[in-house]
Structure formats: C-alpha cells, structure tokens
C-alpha cells in the first residue's frame, strides 16, 4: 500500500460512560491528522477495558465496548468492517455465585510487529461505544489505541476515505 510513515507511535486514550443504565452511548475521539496532506492513522494496537457488570442474582449482566472508524447507531459485530476492536464482559448470576466470561476482538490486541496493522483510519476521528445489559447503574469504558500517522498517495487516500464513509 502506498503509505509513508510521518510520525512515531502515538497513544490516544478515550473514555465513555453510558447515558443511563443499559443505554447505547458513543463518544467521538479526534485524531491529530492533517487531511490536506492526506494523512491517515495506522492502528497497530488497541486496548479496551470497562467496568465490571453488576452482580444480579439469577440474571446475566454484561458490558459491551467497541472501537469503530465511524459513528454507529448501536453495538455492531465483527462482520462490520468499521469495527476495529470490541470486548464483551458477561457475568452469569446464580443464587449466590457468579461466573464471568470475557470475549474480545481481535483475540490478540496487538499485531506484535511494527510492519503490521489492525486498521487504517482515514478520517480524523474514531468512536468509542458502550452498552450494558441488565446492569443496575451506568457502566464506563476506556480505550487506548496506538499507531502512527502516515501520508497516503492521492488514489489510496480517496479509496480509504470512500470505503470508510460508504460502508
């Protein structure tokens, strides 16, 4: 791909809090990109974490957190090309015991090498969304994405922006 690295690795953090218990909430995070120079953000690592789900007897509770390239109307799945990373922490409640299950995409949050990447963000923002299930209070989540700025050729930049905005 016709990309030329223009920065060292950057770490960008973001937080989101549900507007109300079990309510999809999303926040927009601005990236330090210069669109006039056709800069994109090459994501190399993503780390996400959230509050634990509420402990409710005889109830399954969950917290789902996602990082996407574009704004979403609701939580999405790994079938969506706009999804960069997600996690889902479920708590299966018995009478007095609770069994946790954690699901993450990608399974390994880091590419492990500087030559690879998880995603390329062509617009100067990304989105962090959260939604709980059967929780007693609003849940919060955090994300840190690492990557670098790169300059794309005109045709590659146009293709990346078009794919991102038309998906």
Instruction: Map tokens 């969506």 to a residue.
Output: 80
Residues 6+ apart with CB under 8 A from 85: 46, 48, 66, 67, 104, 105, 106, 109, 118, 143, 145
**Alpha carbon separation from 89 to 50, 58, 113, 162 (Å, rounded):** 8, 17, 28, 33
Range of the structural domain that residue 29 is part of: 3-166
List of long-range contacts for 152-157, beta carbons under 8 Å, 24+ apart: 152/1, 152/2, 152/3, 152/38, 152/39, 152/40, 152/122, 153/2, 153/38, 154/38, 155/2, 156/1, 156/2, 156/3, 157/38, 157/40, 157/122
Q: What are 89-144's pLDDT values in tens digits?
A: 999 987 778 888 888 777 554 555 545 788 999 999 999 999 999 999 999 999 99
How confident is the model at residue 113, as a pLDDT? 52
Q: How much is the pTM?
A: 0.89
Residue 15 clears pLDDT 60, i.e. is over it: yes
What is the spatial distance between Cα 136 and Cα 91, in angstroms, rounded to a whole number? Answer: 13
3-class DSSP state for residue 102? strand
How many domains, the chain? 1
CATH code (residue 121): 2.60.120
């Amino acid at each position: 791909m016709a990309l030329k690295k223009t920065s060292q690795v950057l770490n960008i953090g973001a937080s989101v809090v549900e507007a109300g218990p079990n309510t999809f909430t999303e926040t927009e995070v601005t990236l330090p990109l210069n669109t006039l120079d056709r800069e994109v953000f090459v994501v190399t690592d993503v780390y996400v974490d959230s509050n634990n789900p509420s402990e409710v007897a005889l109830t399954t509770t969950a917290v789902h957190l996602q990082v996407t390239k574009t704004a979403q109307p609701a939580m999405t799945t790994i079938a969506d090309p706009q999804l960069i990373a997600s996690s889902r922490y479920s708590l299966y409640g018995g009478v007095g015991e609770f069994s946790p299950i954690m699901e993450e995409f990608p399974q390994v949050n880091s590419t492990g090498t500087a030559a690879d990447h998880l995603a390329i963000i062509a617009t100067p923002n990304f989105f962090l969304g959260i939604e709980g299930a059967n929780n007693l209070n609003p849940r919060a989540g955090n994300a840190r994405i690492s990557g670098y700025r790169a300059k794309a050729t005109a045709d590659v930049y146009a293709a990346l922006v078009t794919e991102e905005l038309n998906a």
